[in-house]
């Protein structure tokens, strides 16, 4: 294992895209021109009318923070070939703190490159239209140009990351976000804490050999719970496996979680799958399947059904950074764009796929940038900021359903736990990297500061909550452990809707064998 690889990821920064060198400085930024007609309605509730009618692209950098807002005209309003403004652009006001956190030289990038490119672009089009020919081509008009220009491999500076709460749990001034009622806010916090307690106790149960396997969501509590909070129960969820908080939010009980992990007779999956492969028909949460990324295109098909049935709901699918390498991810995004379906693709970019860092997973700027390539509206969000996740998913859902369109959300976060109970992540990543994300970037304590600041939470409430959840969970585990496994007959059901004759025969033979050799079989499975 090469240590140098891991050391190259400095603590506070996120793995940067590979080639931010010369080529990028020379790059021509092909920024999508704005389509005013579709731009306006969304813009109204986000920016001032003044800004929008002027077609302004504005950013806020540390520099801008001091100097006031810098603005520059895109000058490309007359070009109508681009379908509409991207979600990215809508949410662009950039908290300076994040720039600092996610790129090495924020000030220069944002002040020089961004504005330089805007200038370069705004100078060209007016003349271009007279000088150069335009061809009608499927998808819109394409302008012929005399220079040979390759699109750069990356847009230069990384896509910015939407954030509402700063590291200290304060709302960043000027941030636009969805209001959260006290009740919802507290339920969100309660569920994040519950998820933490659940992870601690189930992990321990695995270590004691009481369950065979477990996967924690530590570090991704905000993603789990806040994204779920922004959906309704009618939205159909297609999970990967690190999203049990979505189920929790929807009302899956601790007893139901425990039953699945113990594979007892009350497990809806009838003990057939490994622990953490939850699923709930009642809660519109499709059953977890271990193969990576397979659920992503399912969500697109389901979304098409919602669209055909004119339901006021969308499909939502979660997946990791690793998942975005699978063919299924790409197929799904393309299908979704072409079929124009209400689906939210939620990528949990937690930096690691088992031992593989994102730098060895892709060289694009994460997942978010790929949305645009497939024709999807996309946003990057701070996955450790519950309010940002909540707001982004809330808005994504609105747009997905109202406009019947797919939206890609990429949440930047970190897998604080080992990949699973079969993994020791200190073999491939530095302990202080883990520690940093576990402590300084913990999404739960950041959010707690916010609710405390609102006067909604205090230490007493905290300890009461934790001890109640703990008690309830230990009780649930005990009950789940005591319960019988599902009966033998269930081994043969559900392969098909009806048990076919070959399985009847196999069941008969098996029962004879069990009579001959009862000691070969676990007594907790009732025969």
Partner 1 sequence: MALRGLGRRISIGKRCFSSASEVEKPPRDGKPINLFSAINQALHIALETDPRAYVFGEDVGFGGVFRCTTGLTDRFGRNRVFNTPLCEQGIAGFAIGLAAMGNRAIAEIQFADYIYPAFDQIVNEAAKFRYRSGNQFNCGGLTIRSPYGAVGHGGHYHSQSPEAFFCHVPGLKVVIPRSPQQAKGLLLACIRDPNPVVFFEPKWLYRLAVEEVPEHDYMLPLSQAEVTRQGSDITLVGWGAQLSVLEHACDEAAKDGISCELIDLRTLIPWDKETVEASVRKTGRLLVSHEAPVTGGFGAEISASIAECCFLRHGLQLEAPVARICGLDTPFPLVYEPFYMPTKNKVLDAIKTTVNY
420 flagged as catalytic: yes
Which entry of partner 1, Mg ion, ligand TPP, none binds 242, CB below 5 to 8 A by partner kind?
A: ligand TPP
Which entry of Mg ion, ligand TPP, partner 1, none binds 93, CB below 5 to 8 A by partner kind?
A: none
Residue pair 180/388 in contact (Cβ under 8 Å)? The answer is: no
Exposed e or buried b for every residue in 340-373, given b needs 16+ CB within 10 A?
ebbbbbbbbbbbbbeeebbeebbebbbbbbbbbe
In whole angstroms, how close is the CB of 344 to ligand TPP at the nearest point? 17
In whole angstroms, how close is the CB of 211 to ligand TPP at the nearest point? 18
Taking the least distance from each CB to ligand TPP, the nearer of 103 and 217 is: 217
- Report how far residue 390's alpha carbon sits from residue 272's, in angstroms, rounded to the nearest whole number: 34
28's CB contacts (< 8 A; 6+ apart) are: 117, 120, 121, 149, 151, 152
Residue pair 339/404 in contact (Cβ under 8 Å)? The answer is: no
Residues in contact with ligand TPP, shown as a per-residue x/- string from 293 to 332 under the rule CB under 6 A: --------------------------xxxxx---------
In whole angstroms, how close is the CB of 352 to Mg ion at the nearest point? 5
Q: Does 429 bind ligand TPP (CB under 6 A)?
A: no
Taking the least distance from each CB to Mg ion, the nearer of 24 and 413 is: 413
Query: Quick one: which H or E segment has residue 25?
Result: helix 22-26
**CA separation (Å) from 314 to 233, 344, 371, 523?**
10, 7, 18, 44
In this structure, what token pair is assigned to residue 145?
């140009």
In whole angstroms, how close is the CB of 320 to partner 1 at the nearest point? 8
Which entry of Mg ion, ligand TPP, partner 1, none binds 447, CB below 5 to 8 A by partner kind?
A: none
| Active-site residue, selected from the candidate residues 103, 117, 266, 420 | 420
Which entry of ligand TPP, partner 1, Mg ion, none binds 213, CB below 5 to 8 A by partner kind?
A: partner 1
Q: Report the chain's C-alpha Rg in angstroms.
A: 25
497's CB contacts (< 8 A; 6+ apart) are: none
Closest CA relative to residue 92, chosen from 67, 116, 57: 57
Closest CA relative to residue 481, chosen from 260, 268, 247, 269: 260
355 flagged as catalytic: no
Which entry of ligand TPP, Mg ion, partner 1, none binds 463, CB below 5 to 8 A by partner kind?
A: none
| Active-site residue, selected from the candidate residues 42, 277, 394, 419 | 419
Q: By the criterion CB under 8 A, which residues form the site for partner 1?
A: 1-2, 212-213, 263, 271-274, 277, 289-293, 322-323, 325-328, 353-356, 360-362, 422-423, 427-428, 485-486, 488, 490-492, 495, 502-503, 506, 510, 513-514, 516-517, 520-522, 525
- Report how far residue 171's alpha carbon sits from residue 387's, in angstroms, rounded to the nearest whole number: 9
- Report how far residue 381's alpha carbon sits from residue 226's, in angstroms, rounded to the nearest whole number: 12
Taking the least distance from each CB to ligand TPP, the nearer of 288 and 469 is: 288
Q: How many residues make up the chain in this entry?
A: 527
204 flagged as catalytic: yes
| Active-site residue, selected from the candidate residues 204, 360, 435, 505 | 204
- Report how far residue 411's alpha carbon sits from residue 289's, in angstroms, rounded to the nearest whole number: 22
Q: Does 275 bind ligand TPP (CB under 6 A)?
A: no
Question: Which residue in the block uniquely carries the two structure tokens 């009579």?
Answer: 515
Applying CB under 6 A, which of residues 90, 274, 353, 381 lies at the interface with ligand TPP?
A: 353
Q: Which stretch binds ligand TPP (CB under 6 A): 51-59, 161-169, 351-359, 452-460?
A: 351-359
Q: Does 434 bind ligand TPP (CB under 6 A)?
A: no
In whole angstroms, how close is the CB of 354 to ligand TPP at the nearest point? 5
Binding residues (CB under 6 A) for ligand TPP: these are: 242, 290-292, 319-323, 348, 350, 352-354, 415, 419
Residues classed as catalytic = 204, 290, 419-420
């Amino acid at each position: 294992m090469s240590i140098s690889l891991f050391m190259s990821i400095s603590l506070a920064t996120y793995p940067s895209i590979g080639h931010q060198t010369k080529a990028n400085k020379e790059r021509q930024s092909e920024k999508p021109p704005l389509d005013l007609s579709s731009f306006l309605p969304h813009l109204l509730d986000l920016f001032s009318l003044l800004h929008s009618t002027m077609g302004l692209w504005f950013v806020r950098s540390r520099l801008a923070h001091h100097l006031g807002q810098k603005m520059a005209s895109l000058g490309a309003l007359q070009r109508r070939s681009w379908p509409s403004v991207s979600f990215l652009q809508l949410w662009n006001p950039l908290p300076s703190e994040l720039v600092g956190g996610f790129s090495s030289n924020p000030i220069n990038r944002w002040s020089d490159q961004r504005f330089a490119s805007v200038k370069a672009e705004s100078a060209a089009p007016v003349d271009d239209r007279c000088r150069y020919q335009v061809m009608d081509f499927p998808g819109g008009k394409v302008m012929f140009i005399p220079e040979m220009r390759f699109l750069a491999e990356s847009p230069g500076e990384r896509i910015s990351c939407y954030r509402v709460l700063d590291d200290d749990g304060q709302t960043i001034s000027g941030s636009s976000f969805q209001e959260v009622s006290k009740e919802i806010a507290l339920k969100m916090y309660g569920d994040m804490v519950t998820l933490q307690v659940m992870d601690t106790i189930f992990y321990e149960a695995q270590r004691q050999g009481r369950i065979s396997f477990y996967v924690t969501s530590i570090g991704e509590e905000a993603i789990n719970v806040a994204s779920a909070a922004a959906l309704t129960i009618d939205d159909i969820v297609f999970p990967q496996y690190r999203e049990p908080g979505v189920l929790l939010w929807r009302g899956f009980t601790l007893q139901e979680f425990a039953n699945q992990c113990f594979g007892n007779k009350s497990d809806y999956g009838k003990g057939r799958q490994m622990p953490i492969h939850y699923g709930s028909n009642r809660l519109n949460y499709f059953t977890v399947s271990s193969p990576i990324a397979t659920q992503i295109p399912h969500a697109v098909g389901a979304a098409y059904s919602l669209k055909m049935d004119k339901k006021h709901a969308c499909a939502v699918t979660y997946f990791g950074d690793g998942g975005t390498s699978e063919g299924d991810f790409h197929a799904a995004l393309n299908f979704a764009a072409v079929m124009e379906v209400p689906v939210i693709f939620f990528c949990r970019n937690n930096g690691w796929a088992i031992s593989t860092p994102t730098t060895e997973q892709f060289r694009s700027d994460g997942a978010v940038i790929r949305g645009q390539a497939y024709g999807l509206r996309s946003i990057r969000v701070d996955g450790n900021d519950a309010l940002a996740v909540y707001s982004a998913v809330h808005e994504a859902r609105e747009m997905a359903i109202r406009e019947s369109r797919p939206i890609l959300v990429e949440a930047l976060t970190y897998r604080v736990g080992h990949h699973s109970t079969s993994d020791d992540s200190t073999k491939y990543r530095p302990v202080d990297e883990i520690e940093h994300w576990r402590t300084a970037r913990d999404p739960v304590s950041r959010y707690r500061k916010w609710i405390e600041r609102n006067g909604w939470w205090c230490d007493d409430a905290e300890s009461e909550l934790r001890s109640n959840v703990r008690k309830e969970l230990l009780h649930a585990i005990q009950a789940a452990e005591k319960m019988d496994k599902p009966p033998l007959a269930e081994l043969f059901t559900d392969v098909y809707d009806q048990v076919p004759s070959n399985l009847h025969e196999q069941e008969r033979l098996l029962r004879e064998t069990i009579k001959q050799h009862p000691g070969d079989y676990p007594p907790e499975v009732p025969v």
